[in-house]
Structure formats: C-alpha cells, structure tokens
Structure 1
C-alpha cells in the first residue's frame, strides 16, 4: 500500500506483466534493467508525457507550499533508496511522490549577510519574497540580528503569502512538526530581529521591549487571522506558573495564557475556534462545528515519526485535517506545511531519522494530492537549505543505504558508511593515529550519529541550491535557476494575490 501511494516507479513499463517476444529469443520482462528495451521504453514514456502535457494557465484557487526543512538533494536521493528498500526494491529507480511533478527548478538559498542560510532568512525569502539577514524573521536586511529597535520600526517589516492570501479573502493555515513559533513557520506571520525570541522569556532583559513570536501569532495582524495552526511548542503559550495537560510547565514570564487569549480573540472575530492537543481530538474535530483550530501537540518540537506514540498526529494527518477545514472557503486557501524534523535530525547527524522524516514529508504530499483538485490547486514542494550529508562509495545496487559501502575499505583498510557528514557530533577522534573502526559501532541504532569529518556540537547547513517541485496552475513558472525569494512572487502570480504582477492583472 505504501509503495503504491508514496513511490512511483520511474519506468511505467512491464505493461501488465507482458514480456518481450522475439522469435527464437528467450522471453524477457520489459521491467528488467538488463534489457535495453526497459530503458528505451522508460525514456520514451517520460518524453511522451512531457510533450503531451498542456500548460495550465488557470487561476490557482488554492496554493499549498510544502517545505522540507534541510531537505537537500542528497537527502532526497538517499530517501528514495531508504523507502524503496523497505518494500523489497533497490530504491534508486523509484521516485518520491513529489518527484513525479512535471516541473522542477533550483533555488539559491544564501542570506544577504551569510553565504549559507539559516531557516529564518530563508523562510523570509520564500514566504515574503524579500531576502534577509541570518537569524531574522519577517524583516528586510536593513535589520541586523538582535536589533529590537529595527524590529519595532515598522518600515522594515515585510509580509508575504499568508498576508496576501488573507487580504484576498482566502483561508490560511500553518502545519509543522516543529514548534509553531520556530523560525520557519514564524516567517509566515511574525517580524522578529532574532529567531530565538519565541517567548517573552527569550527576550533580552535590558533595553527596548519587542513582541515575541508566540505573542505575534495570537495578537499580530497576520498571525491572529490564521485559521489553522498545527504543530508543537505548547510551552511558549503558557506561563511558568501553569502546567499544561501533560504536566509540563509553561515558559512565559508575563503570565499570559495565550491559548485562552487565542480562543477569545477568534470568537470575537466571528470564528468557531477549537483548541486541541491530542491526535484523537484532531481526528475527531468536526469541521462544520469548528472552522478554526489551534493544535499544540507537544511542549517542544513534535517527536520524530520513528519515536511517535499513538496520540501523536503524523504530518499527513495534520495536513489532511488542515485541508479539510480550509477547503470550506469558496475563495480558496493558502496552506504552508513544514516537515521540520528533517533538519533537526541532520543537525544531530542521525541520518536514519532524517531519511524517515523525508519519507513522512512525501506521505503528506501524497495525502494532499488525494484531497485537492490539481486543476485549481498549485502545489510547490521545496527546501529552505541543504545539509552537509554526502552519499558516496560505489556500492553495489541493493546495499543498505544506512550501512557500509561494500565496494572496498578506505586506504587505511577500515570500512566507511555510504552516508556521512562534513561536520557534526558524529566525529570520532583517531586512535593511535588510526581512524575509528566503525565496525565497533551499532550503526543500526535509531540514534546512531553518522561519521563526521570535523567535530562540531551541531552539524551545519550546506550552501548549495535546493530543488523545487511544482504541479498545478502555472507550475511551469518554477523551472530554471532563480533566487529563493522568487518563489512567493510566482505563487502569488498564479493565485492572483499580492501587490505584484498576477495572471489577473
């Protein structure tokens, strides 16, 4: 079932199991990589599908932006193999759900002040259309990180897709597996000179006072109008003196109960709001009785999929419920969905978790495709930045992607893994001038930290371009190579929202 829905074989051959019939020659299945006809038919099928595909120039009633945080091209390639091998395939020949989209491009991810992006400046770029400084959210590059005065000066604030969609009368939503106040989702609604200012407790003790990100989600002009917010980060909405439903203390110092405030504000705006904190509550939510929902399912980030319990909703389940709620608006909707824990796993050099979270992202895209009319819904899938994981070694097909290269040992006669990192916590010091013997490690452990060249507490991002996949109205606008801040301009064009050029004007 998963193989059918999550992975698409890139060959579309076998043609009902038919074999190649030549007189006097042994019969061979077309789905056979040693058969030259396999490759000819595969390439011809792709060519014909591209030639026959008409350009969709309709107005995009709905827009869904999927963001795999840290989902590098290397991560995509490794995840294909990871997911394929779980279903008895080699894996390289398969595609993730969104890799079948007809149009792809490459986005350049650097910040204005750094050559390698963080999630704050990149989020500002692909959500507002403005490139920013590292560590800043929803502000132009006129504001440096930590500049509270610059944040308070509204002249430097920038808004984008979320604001434009709301002004056009569309419903809006944010779904993430991280804290809903984390840098990536925050860029859709907040203005912060420091991505770390998620709650008031994080703000500097001296100097000017700036609104924290959680506060802006509840009281901000854009944040308060978001109809669906699903993810983690519950602690940033409750005071330290209060415990949440799981017994965890809140983190706020100002005594504000922002969940209660959110419910009151939404009701005053004429909405029918609901606060949920378990998977069951989310799945049982009646969209006819509640047209706005705040779901905070963990005090911090949501758990990794491989460690999730029965009451933790998956990214797919949150995405489906969001679409179900937002689809009630006859004017359409804009939904931002982040698979955020790909990034945190890479920072820990836990490749197994990173690949699994990418697979979860592919499932969420597949779930969305089943629910929307792709003729009137533009779906864009991309990443904010890459990571330093590499995929190497000349291994034979079928070799465990999370295991050792089986071609040969290194020149020191010690084995090495197919996946490794340029830097990070997986560094192991040499022993008697020899590289650490990885055969002594339990590389099958869920939390195994993969080898790193340079010792660093947290692995860093990478600076190369990231892939962009698009399907639906005006998806052909997303081909080629472009700056990351181009993305929201193209999405706004297709949906007839925002102040710039659109297909309607």
Structure 2
C-alpha cells in the first residue's frame, strides 16, 4: 500500500521536482490523456489518406491535424538499447522520469516514483484506465504500478486493487481486456473489486446500463478483438471512453483519465495494415469523444500522443508512388481472423467473404499452400499479399526511434507545443494539476 509519506518531497508540498517551471499555466480540473501505442506520424498520415474518398483533390484534415501542437522524443535510458519499449515510454509519460526498458513506475535507479494518475488521486480527483489490451499491459500499467518487469501481469492486477492513495482506491474506472488475470486459481480479483463497491461488466450492454460510479469492465480474456473484428457485445474504445467520462466527471474535484489505443502497436509489429487502420480509426473516435467532452469547458485539457512508433510503416513500397487504401477498405476482417477461418473451412472460397478485391492465381496458390501449415503462416501470407496490393511498406517488426506527434485541445494547450522529451509531458501535467 502506498503511504501518504510517499507524496512528500523535500519542500513538503509536491511529489515531483520539475527542472522547468512552465509559464502561463492555469490549474486544470480534468485531464484526459490518450496514447496511441505505436502511433507514429506515418499512421496519422495514413489515416488522412484512408479517410480520403478518391485519388483526386485536396485531402481534408483529420481531427488530429486540427489539434497538432508538437512532437516528443521517445528514447529510453536503457543501457543496452536506445529504442524504447512501451513500459519505459509509459513510465516517462506518467512520472516525468525516463528509465530502462521493461520498468513500470520506477526511475533509472529502480526507485518508485509517483505517477500523474496517483497524484491526481492524491489531489482528490477520480481516476480511470481505458485500453484495448489487457488492462494490466505495459502502457496502462505504467500509470498505476511500480515494478521492475512489465511481464508480472498478475502482480500488476493485484496492485490495481491492493494499493491505496490516502486510504482510497487508486483507480476508480478500469475498462479493457484481461479477465484471465483477474479471475485466477490463486485469487479472484473480480469478486474482491465487487466487495470494494465496484460494478463489474463484461459486455457493451452491461456497460451502458450499469450505474456504478466505480467500475471494472473486462471484455475479453486477454486483449479485445481489433475494432474491425469486434462483435456487437464488445465496446469500442470511444464507447469505453464515454462510459469512463460519464462516471469520472461526477467528482467535483475533477479527474484524470488515461485512454490507450493499445493495438495500433500490435498491428505494427505484425506489419498488418488492415489491423493498423482499424485501430487508428478506433483511436480517432476515442479522441473525438474526449474533445467532445472538453468543448465549451474551461477546466479540461485533452492530450493525444504516442509512446513510440512501430513497424516503420511507409505509405508506399517498391517505388509505386501510389498508396491504395481502397484495398484495405475492401477487407472486412484482420488477416488473423481470415486465416483462422480458412483453416476452419479449408476452403479458399472463404476468402471471398473477407477480401473484396481481385487476387492473381499465384497469390491464391501461395495462400492455399499455407493451409498445410499453421494459422500464423497463413496470416503472414495474407499480410504480404495485402501489403503488396495496397502498396504498404514496412521496415521492421519492432519499434522505431523517431519522434512522435502531440495533439492537444483545451486549457494549457500551448504548454505542449514545440519539441519536447516524453518525460516533459508528465512534468507539465503534474504542474497544471497542482
């Protein structure tokens, strides 16, 4: 359990020691921070192409374009790698301290450091975590856990319930995936959350009708299906964001809400442009929901950024000079789902239900040959075909080290302009909440 003494700094007032005092600040009541995991500039540029209906004319800006203010550097302080992982980047964004890869809520010396979510709770605000991964995954966990390894999923889930700030639950609203980490043989955290006055929901209908101010919503054993694959029982990121805002705004002291578009990154790791565009669209809708909440308010800041970029996505490949998002739009499921159904049916006709563009016989033969292998092999074959026909390029299956965008709307928006370190974002949030 976190003690109140953990919040005392040497000046007896603040739990942080920013090197810079930011000018022109006003205290904010509500903070909404959205992180598109893995969402570098190529993804938001791709979204602009994706939203454009033809090959002609000036492209309309996306909602991100309207609120672009700056960029942030993503590197960690890892001694063995100069490219960050999500844990180190999340920790920088949540604490103001760059750290080593894999660390959650710890500085480079492995000391526990407070997060902006925890500080919001300390200041009497309500807090929320929303994502499309398991809710105890790296980026989300970096705002509410203090542990050396991001892989300790059970311990992270335990800490969400067990740790308190000034005797109160650390997190008031938790929405995403991860049932398997909360209902375990050694411990049923779901029952314990309910005993601590939380509502518990597992479907969109339950989310909409539940009236609990504190809420745990787990909609999948691990991660949620990608947006393009979701059925009607699983909420979108925007629907979870709206549900969280409806509850958190009831606190007269305000709130801190973190919303993560978790699987932009996972699609990038797979070099899966269908999944990537699906998840960026999901994140775009959540950002719109956050801005909608903040419109006509003078007490709220909305920030959207990324922890890093993933995959080295390129809007073109092989010197074609023509990216073709119409191919992506004609596909109704992710390559993983299509591959799974192909293996279930062993019938190439299944492709016609999911991919509505013509394939050459050679491509069909390659895909067919993988049905004698694993689902993963078929998925990879489909990804390669889709990347070819859409002319999407990739440079890596891992993270990339370039700067990523910052978008902001509302009170103190100007503070996030220009180029900064990822850790600066947390230091600004500490100050404007103080």
Give the TM interval when normalised to the shorter protein: 0.7 to 0.9
Counterpart of 1:390 in 2: which secondary structure?
Answer: coil
Residue 22 of structure 1 corresponds to none
1:502: which partner in 2?
none
Aligned match of 1:98: 64
Which residue matches 1:134?
A: 101
From the two aligned structures, give the one with the greater helix fraction.
2
Structure 1 residues 91 and 126, CA gap change in structure 2 (3 angstroms): farther
**RMSD value over aligned CA atoms?**
2.7
Q: Is 1:392 matched up with 2:305?
A: no
| 1:163 and 2:97 correspond | no
Tell me the equivalent position of 2:44. Answer: 76
Match of 2:174 among 225, 229, 232: 229
Alpha-carbon distance, 1:395 to partner: 5.5
Counterpart for residue 175 of structure 1: 130
By relative contact order (CA 8 Å, sep 6+), the higher-ranking structure is 2
What is aligned with 2:325? Answer: 401
The equivalences for 1:462-473 within 5 A come to 462-473=400-411
Cα distance in 2 for residues equivalent to 1:483 and 1:309: 39
Which residue does 2:346 correspond to in 1? none
1:375-454 alignment to 2 at 5 Å?
375-387=298-310, 388-392=312-316, 400-401=324-325, 440-441=362-363, 448-450=382-384
Q: Go from structure 1 to structure 2 and tell me whether the alpha carbon gap of 1:80 and 1:91 turns closer, same or farther (over 3 Å shift).
A: farther
User: By how many angstroms is 1:295 displaced?
Assistant: 0.2
Answer yes or no: is the 8 Å Cα contact 2:204–2:234 preserved in 1: yes
Preserved CA contact (<8 Å) 1:56 1:473: no
Offset, 1:89:
7.0
SS of 1:335's equivalent in the other structure is strand
> 1-side partners of 2:42 and 2:399: how far apart?
13
1:365 to partner: Cα distance: 1.0
Q: Deviation of residue 330 (structure 1)?
A: 0.9
How far has the Cα of 1:141 moved from its partner?
A: 1.2
User: Is 2:215 the partner of 1:293?
Assistant: yes
The answer (yes or no) to whether the contact 1:80–1:92 under 8 Å persists in 2 is no
Show the counterpart of 1:311: 233
Rounded to whole Å, the distance in 1 between the matches of 2:419 and 2:204 is: 40
CA distance in 2, matches of 1:276, 1:138: 28
Partner of 1:263: 194
Q: For residues 313-332 of structure 1, what are the alpha-carbon distances to aligned partners after superposition, in whole Å with 9 as ceiling and x for unaligned?
A: 00010000100000111111
Q: CA deviation at 1:490?
A: 1.1
Deviation at 1:90, TM superposition (A): 5.3
Is 2:399 the partner of 1:461?
A: yes
The equivalent of 1:412 in structure 2 is: none
- 1:482 maps to 2:405: no
Matched, 1:220 2:172: no
Matches of 1:91 and 1:318 in 2, distance apart? 35
SS at 1:491 equivalent: helix
Is 1:351 matched with 2:290?
no
Residue matched to 1:427: none
Q: Tell me by how many angstroms 1:402 deviates.
A: 6.5
Describe the SS at the equivalent of 1:485. helix
The whole-number CA distance in structure 2 between the counterparts of 1:353 and 1:183 is: 20
Offset of 1:311 from its aligned partner?
Answer: 0.2
Question: What is the CA deviation profile of residues 29-72 of structure 1, one whole-angstrom value per residue up to 9, with x for unaligned ones?
Answer: xxxxxxxxxxxxxxxxxxxxxxxxxx985432111000000001
Residues 1:321 and 2:253 are matched in the alignment: no
Could you tell me how far 1:375 is from its partner in structure 2? 2.3
Larger Rg: 1
Report what 1:190 is aligned to: 145
**TM-superposed deviation, 1:92:** 6.7
Runs of at least 5 residues in structure 1 that lack an aligned partner in the other structure: 1-54, 144-155, 200-211, 241-254, 268-272, 405-437, 497-505
SS of equivalent to 1:471: strand
